[in-house]
Every structure is written in C-alpha cells, then in structure tokens.
Chain A
Amino acid sequence: MTYRTESIRTRKTIMPRALSGLLLAGAAAGLIAAGPAGAKVEGDTITLGSAISLTGKYSSNGIDTQNGYDLAIKKINEMGGVTVDGKQYKLAVKYYDDESTPARTAQLLERLIEQDGVDYILGPYSSATTIAAAPVTEKYQVPMVEAEGASRALFNKGYKYLFAVLSTSEQYLSSAIDLAAEVAEKNGKSPSDLRVAMVFENDAFSLDVRAGVVENMNKYGMQTVIDDKMPADLSDISASLTKVKALKPDLLVISGHNKGAVTAARQIQELQVEVPMIAMTHCEGANVTGQFGAAADGYLCPTQWAETLSYSDKYFGSAADYDKAVKAAYPDYTTVPYQTAQASAAVLVWKDAFERANSFDTTKVRDALSATDMETFYGGIKFSEAGNNIAKPMVLRQIQNGEYNVVAPSKWASHELVWPREAMY
C-alpha cells in the first residue's frame, strides 16, 4: 500500500519539475529534489499542513482557527517541542487559503500531500470543507486531526484517517431538549406534553443539529408544532416567528450559523416573541448580546467549550488560563471563540500522538492517534472507531444579564437556569 502511494507521487512530480524552472525557480526545484518524503520532517522541524478559509465567507472563523493552531504550536515549541526517538523537533504549519470553497480545499490538500510532501494534516474550517478534505486524506492514507467539522456525514463513512476533537453537530441542541424535559418534570408536567417549534437552516450542519433534536424529542414523545427550514440567504424569518406567537410553544429551537442567529435575535426582539425557553446555535459568533442587549437575555446557547469549565492540561493550564493566553496573544478578542480553543486542542493531539508513536511513519502515527486518551484544557479527548471525540460533552450556556453562564449539563453548571425566560424588550 505504501509502495503504491509513493509511486503516485513520483509520477505526479514530473509536471511540477518541468514547470519549476519557469515558475518557481530554485526554491521549488530544491523542494522536489529533496523528495516529498523528506519534506514532512526536515532537520528538526515537523511540518503539518492545513488548507484553511482565510478569505471568503468562512474567513472570520477560519482566522480564529488559524490563531488557535498558531498559539498551540508556539506554546509547544516554547516548551521544548515534540520528542521523537530521543530527539526534539519543532512544529510548523504550512497553510493554504481555500477561499471558503470545498473544491479548493480538496485541491489544496492534494497539493500539500503530493507536492509539498506533508504527511500530517490539520483540518480546515467548517463541515463543508472538511467533508471535501476527508476523501483526499483517506486516499493518500495521511492522518488528519480536525477541529472544526462537526457534521455527521464525516463519521458515517468509515474513514480511518480522520480524527475530530469536537462534539458532533447532532449533539449541539439535543441537550436543550433534555433540559426542557428536566424543567417540565420539576414543574410537575410530563415531557411528552411539551410542544417544540423548530426553525433550521436548510444546510448540512443545521439539518444535523435538527436530526439530533428530533431524535431526542422522539425519546421523550414531545410534539412538533413548527418545523420550518430557512434557505441560506434568507434575511427574514418573521413569518415563522409570527406562527410561534400564535402557537405558544414551550421551546423554540433555532440554528442557522451566525446569520440565522442575528436574524432570529433581531426579529424575536422586534416581534416580542415570548417563549419560556429559546435555544439557538452561534449566539457568541453573532454577538447577540452586543447587538441586541437585554432582548437576547435568556437564550440558551450550546458551546463546545467555555473558559469557565474546570478542564486543564500541562500546556495551557486551566481553561481560564488558556483564555488569558489567547487574549494576550491576540488582544482583539474580547471573548475567545471555541473555534480557537478546539484548534489548539487538535495541535496538542498531534504532539501527544507523535510522542506515543515515537515514529514519523504515518501508519504508526495513525494508530497512536486512534488510541488517544487525554485530558486537555478543552476537555477529554478519546476517539470512537468513527473518529469523533466521545470524551467531551456539549455545554449549554444561558445569557443572563449579558453574560454567558453555564447552566447544563449539571455536572459543569456554574449557574442556575432562569426559567421561564424573562423577556426584556
């Protein structure tokens, strides 16, 4: 198998070699002459590769991700780097900009693996680009640790070289259903009497979130009263919210990336929707507290990670310490996005795997990755057979007086849930 991969590489390097004199001159020629095999670990540097969205529609989260990668790499290098076979290596990343286009992500990964000889991949930003990337890494049998693709389409294909540190998207809002059921029982109601309104964007991510919600609702026997899907570029959901006002559900669940959260928060305020419990994704990314103030109070927002959680590791210390480190390195952040935290966690996973494999052989590193079982500032990391992280729960935070406070699951909760939501319009 390894032999076959090598032969593909040799064949394909002929073209760049012909072009190199014309386009890339000495630098590229030197790289090719050294051979792809030497490029991944050169001297005392291990080069990871990533095609990431630095421009285009995912660019803000793409840059958050890159910041997370860079910060963790700086930290690891400062602490002595990665020790393999008694020798210390520094980590570095070769980045390409995939322009937020999945097709480009796939192309660039081919380029990283084929031409640049990178054998260890850090994931792109977003599920869509990761879905495009996974078949490429699988084809070349190059392991990829990704931190930003949560779609379940990534974990039902039997990929062997894909490892994700984050919780998958079905988990995003299903905890809100559990919480609603818990509240109902506390108030002497049966969870099966609860009526739920759902507004989801018609895209892979949000439909996964919806699938998780529906599955959990069926478990409790809850009823669906609204099940609307918004197209990607819809800037008005007032028709759904008007229905919500008439039907008065017990729980309103919304997911549609940042744009869905902004649109929903603005129109919930404008239409003065009064529902005892509202859960939506991407509150932080959409900055609903900053833009809509008290009108956003009481929203339940799922998060992969929060700086108030009591996780810790030897690199960054506690989650709160990590938060401080990011703010020191990138003073523009007022709150640290979880996208940055999970990106850093992915780099920690690589370091850990290299050291346990004690080798640069991709198969050995892959096996070490699959045996990962570690505690980080981001939470526990342990991969299932499918490559998703099963050691870390999704956390639910409620906006209380403009602050995000963890209210569920109860093990990590720092604050009591405010129920019913006190709307302040």
Chain B
Amino acid sequence: MLDNLSLLTQLAPVLNIQLLLDGLFVGAIFVLAAYGLALVWGVMNVKNLAQGEYVIMGGYFAWHFGTVGVHPILSLPLVFALMFVFGWVVYLLVIKWVITRDLFTSLLATFGIALIVQQALNLAYGPEVRTAEAGFGTNRLFGGLVTVADIKLISFGLCILLAASVILFMKKSRMGQAIRATAQDARAAKIMGIDTERVYAFTYALNAAICGAAGVLVSMIWVIQPFYGIPHSIRAFVIVTAAGLGNIPGVIIAGLGLGVAEQYSGFVLGLEFQQATALILLLLVLIWRQIQLAQHRQVVQ
C-alpha cells in the first residue's frame, strides 16, 4: 500500500492524471444512473432496485445492435427509445400497483423485476461477458504512461449532453414542470389538473431510458454480463444517499467523486477494495449525517 502511494507521489506522479481521468469518465456514467434513481425516488417514492439491471439491459441492446451492424453510438437513441417503452410497460404492469403501498412492497417488487431482467438477459444472450466495440483509437500522453481512449472522451461528452438535456427538459417543458409539481405535492398537483398517473409513468419510463443510455456507454468502455447490474444499483443508491434527494449538483459531484475514489482505492489498496469503496463511503456519509442530525436536534431543544 505504501509502495503504491509512493508511486503516485514520487515515482510516477503523472499516473494521478490517469486515475483522475478514468475516474471522471466512469463517474459520469454513474451520475446518469443515480440521477434516474433520484428522479424516481423523489417523484414517486419508489426505490428502484432494478436500476443496475436497466443499465445492463441497455448495454445488451447496444451489443445486439452492434451484431447487426449498427455502431454502438448510433444505437444510443434507439436504446433510449426502447428502454423508455420498456419502462412504461413495467410501470403499467408492476409499479402502478405498488406505488401507494409501503416501502417494502416497492422494494420487493423492484427486486423481483431485477431478478427477472437478469435471468431473461441470461436466457437471451447467455452468461458470457460482452463488449460493444466502438473501434476508436487511444491517445498517448506523457510517453504512453497515460492513455486516454477516444471512446471514453466521447462517452464523457455524451454523458454531459444527456444530463444537460434531461435537466433542461425538467426545467422548461410542460411535462418536466408537471413532474416537479407532482414531486412537491402529488395531491395538490392532481387538484390543479395534472394527470399524476401519466406523470408517474413518464418518470419511470424516463428513468429506464436514462439507465439504458448509461448502459450503452458502459458496454463501450467497460464490459457487461447479465449479473453485473448489482454494483451499478449499489453505486446509484450510494450516490443518491450521499447527495440527498433533489440535489442535482450533489448527485453530479458525488457520482464523479465516487468514480475517482474507486480508481484511487483500486490503485492504492488493491482491486479487491475498488467496489468496497462505494459501501465504505456510504457508511461514512451516513455516520456523518447522523452526527449532523444529532447536533440539529440539540439546537431545536
């Protein structure tokens, strides 16, 4: 561990750039899935455990389009649309019926969806690890010590584009305003003539579509496998919990930060700690929140 630290501080400090870049690139993808979760959680109070499965599903669609000759980047809008429809159907079939129930019903229902999606992907595509090949090159910096794959740069750009358009949509469009109104007070929104049922369906579908788009990017820069959804779900939960609901800048910072933190812990502590990072951070955030809360209560007293 100390050797690894000295590598970063003395022997090859440029490696910091590699870790930072890799962390930011992948963190941007985490942000997408987390933002979708925050949306569904905030608007419908449904904690969607199938988040990571939607990501993987999107990745498989991109891979599938790749096998019939569609470039993965071009398949992004297709996957977005497909996953939107899929999200809407899942809403009508399952989510609609559990939305008013207690926390555990919706947790169990979405967990069930996650299992079904995993197994369906396994049946359809088999258990092999897949990658969607973008076929772009790699840039060498600092004599090859730092490399930046073009696809990672492009995927980072796409993440920003996607996030920006979703935020803009939420701010400016009729539907976006209706979603925000419903999130604030569903009953009041209903009285004002907003079709909250439609808003819920739209929100859930939008979340599935965002996750699907994130999945396309994952399949191009990492690898996908039917059972790889869980780490993505966990990350989304960690990011949203750390940032707090309805805090979009917080989600972005937490997502990018988690990406970088994972790379650093993988480097310094070893790969076995890379995924544990998310959970350790969650624990720290919760403890910190608890302390804050306790202080807050004392002030009120």
Contacts and interface: CB of A to CB of B under 8 A. Distances in A.
Interface of A: 55-60, 100, 199, 202, 227-231, 233-240, 242-243, 245-247, 258-259, 262-263, 266, 269-272, 274, 286, 291, 425
A245 B143 CA distance: 11
A238 B22 contact: yes
B149 A262 contact: no
Contact of B271 (A55, A199, A246): A199
B131 interface: yes
Nearest to B131: A266
Given A55-B123, A243-B4, A271-B147, A231 B275 contact: yes
B12 interface: yes
Nearest to A265: B131
A243 B4 CA distance: 8
A258 B149 CA distance: 23
A55 B15 CA distance: 43
B224 interface: yes
Interface in B247-292: 262-264, 266-267, 270-272, 274-275
A220 B115 CA distance: 48
B163 to A, nearest CB: 21
Contacts of A60: 126-128
Contacts of A286: 128-129
Contacts of B224: 235
Interface in B24-76: 26
Contact of A233 (B122, B145, B218, B227): B227
Given A202-B272, A247-B7, A291-B131, 18 more contacts: A57-B127, A60-B126, A233-B230, A233-B275, A234-B271, A234-B274, A234-B275, A236-B222, A239-B22, A240-B267, A242-B19, A245-B15, A259-B225, A266-B223, A270-B147, A271-B138, A272-B144, A291-B133
A240 B126 contact: no
A255 B122 CA distance: 23
Most chain B CB neighbours (cut-off 10 Å) among A239, A242, A286:
A239
Given A60-B127, A234-B274, A239 B222 contact: no
A245 B145 contact: yes
B122 A238 contact: no
A366 B122 CA distance: 38
A98 to B, nearest CB: 14
A406 B212 CA distance: 43
A230 B271 contact: yes
A228 B271 contact: yes
B145 A246 contact: yes
Given A259-B225, A262-B131, A239 B267 contact: yes
B187 interface: no
Contacts of B241: none
Interface in B140-173: 140, 144-145, 147, 149
A229 B15 contact: no
A206 to B, nearest CB: 12
Given A57-B127, A228-B271, A239-B274, A263 B15 contact: no
A242 B20 CA distance: 12
Interface in B1-30: 4, 7, 11-12, 15, 18-19, 22, 26
A286 B223 CA distance: 12
Nearest to A63: B126
A239 B228 CA distance: 19
B246 interface: no
B176 interface: no
Contacts of B270: 227-229, 240
Contacts of A247: 7
Contacts of A228: 270-272
A242 B18 contact: yes
A425 B150 CA distance: 14
Contacts of B131: 262, 266, 291
Interface string B210-240: 0000000010001111011011000000000
A88 to B, nearest CB: 39
Given A202-B272, A231-B272, A59 B222 contact: no
B103 to A, nearest CB: 26
Contacts of B230: 233
Interface string B110-145: 000000000000110011111101000010100011
Given A229-B270, A231-B272, A242-B267, A59 B126 contact: yes
Contacts of A246: 7, 11-12, 15, 145
B22 to A, nearest CB: 5
A335 to B, nearest CB: 15
B227 A237 contact: no
A187 to B, nearest CB: 24
